[in-house]
Amino acid sequence: MKRTTEWKRKLMELATGTVLFDECMDRHTSIGVGGRADALVSPESVAELGRIVAFLRAEGIAVFFVGNGTNLIVRDDGFRGVIVSTKGLRAVRVEDRGQDRAAILAEAGASLAEVVALTAKEALAGMEFCAGIPGSVGGGIRMNAGAWGSELKDVIESVDLLNGGGNIMSCKREALQFQYRDLALPEGACVAGGVFVLARGNREAVEGRIREILRTRTGKHPLQYRSAGSIFKNPKGMPAGKIIDEAGLKGARIGGAQVSEMHGNFIVNLGSATARDIIGLIELVQKKVLETKGIALEPEVKIIGEE
Ligand SMILES: Cc1cc2nc3c(=O)[nH]c(=O)nc-3n(C[C@H](O)[C@H](O)[C@H](O)COP(=O)(O)OP(=O)(O)OC[C@H]3O[C@@H](n4cnc5c(N)ncnc54)[C@H](O)[C@@H]3O)c2cc1C
């Protein structure tokens, strides 16, 4: 008991912003479910992030990094450990790279939406595909977020990684192992920021492409409900949504969770869903799709917390 109080006291000393103890994670995930984390801390600088991570690791306390929580399900019994949010790390700036190119340097907690808005303002082409993806820069890099045939790896020049000891190093794209919806990170590493290199283009063309993408997404995704985006990775050859649709699972429900009637790869929270409902529905979809189509669907969403 004494030890518990001691680490909490020390964490409050290290953090310049608020530390939320026993914080309900349904407030920090887009799908709106999740039990309590022992603590949620939002460092306000990369140096502070480093100090906090090094302290928690040295104490043997479990750490989980969260950006915007848009690809995350926290189980109902919560998370024993500290969730470190990057939302206090939001600096973004543009750096000249000659006549044809410019770089955007963004900290992990900046939203992809604000980076996309900046590319439009600066007439920089290449990141329009991120329009409508509700994640953060750090979460986007970790998940190698993508759409319309492009992924973040296509525009990344380098990524700043913070290791478990709290030290930062800049890794060039060539040294990073990106895959479909994944960047392999060393154990315990956090993305502190990224550098995206883009081509100088025409402002109207960039804005037009962003508008077109946002319009198409509104017509395809059930944005009136809370969700975690695509639940499953697309197997080679066919989108998961189509497979789920063909298996007759659109509209399937457990409690307050439903396979969207609009898009088979979205599970939506009808308002009262628990993590148990959502995870139960994920397992039901996996079982039915394996039985009827012989395909093993792999979740794209990250699921954490006490079983
Ligand atoms: C309506 C909707 C539409 C979506 N559309 C798309 C889409 O078109 N394409 C797509 O790819 N995704 C899509 N997503 C999913 C999601 O937005 C992306 O995966 C996004 O990149 C996740 O970013 P995040 O900050 O929310 O990450 P989180 O959900 O907070 O975290 C996701 C994972 O990344 C890790 N992580 C987060 N930040 C860091 C960090 N700084 N360092 C290390 N690890 C970190 C977390 O530990 C976790 O494992 C959609 C989601 C929604 C709700």
Q: What is the pLDDT of residues 272-281, one digit of tens each?
A: 999 999 999 9
Question: What is the pLDDT averaged over residues 13-41?
Answer: 96
Question: What is the pLDDT averaged over residues 144-173?
Answer: 96
- The DSSP H or E segment spanning 47 is helix 46-59
Helix (H, G, I), strand (E, B), or coil: what is residue 268?
strand
At residue 262 the predicted structure's pLDDT band, cuts being 50, 70 and 90, is very high
Q: Ligand 1 centre and the CA of 112: distance in Å? A: 10
Confirm whether 200 is a catalytic residue. Answer: no
Ligand 1: atom nearest CA of 64 is: 47
Confirm whether 226 is a catalytic residue. Answer: no
Ligand 1: atom nearest CA of 137 is: 25
Catalytically annotated residue among 181, 187, 283, 307 = 181
Q: Look at the block and give the residue holding tokens 């020390």.
A: 10
Q: Whose CA is nearest to atom 21 of ligand 1?
A: 140
Where does residue 95 rank: exposed (0-12), middle (13-18), buried (19+ CB within 10 A)?
exposed
**pLDDT at 18 (0 to 100):** 83
At residue 299 the predicted structure's pLDDT band, cuts being 50, 70 and 90, is very high
For 186-200, the pLDDT digits (tens) are: 988 999 999 999 999
DSSP secondary structure string for all residues of 74-129:
E-TT-EEEEEEE-TT---EEEEE-SSSEEEEEEETTSBHHHHHHHHHHTTEES-GG
The two three-digit tokens of residue 72, written as one number: 């995350």
Q: Ligand 1 centre and the CA of 72: distance in Å? A: 7
Q: Ligand 1 centre and the CA of 38: distance in Å? A: 22
Q: Ligand 1 centre and the CA of 145: distance in Å? A: 7
pLDDT at 51 over 80: yes
Q: What domains are there in the chain, each with its CATH number?
A: 2-85 (3.30.43.10), 92-216 (3.30.465.10), 224-304 (3.90.78.10)
For 77-135, the pLDDT digits (tens) are: 999 999 999 999 999 999 999 999 999 999 999 999 999 999 999 999 999 999 999 99
Q: Which of 33, 82, 143, 178 to mutate to test the pocket of ligand 1 (most atoms within 8 A of CB)?
A: 143
Q: Whose CA is nearest to atom 50 of ligand 1?
A: 229
Name the pairing type of β-strands 253-254 and 150-151.
Answer: unpaired
Confirm whether 27 is a catalytic residue. Answer: no
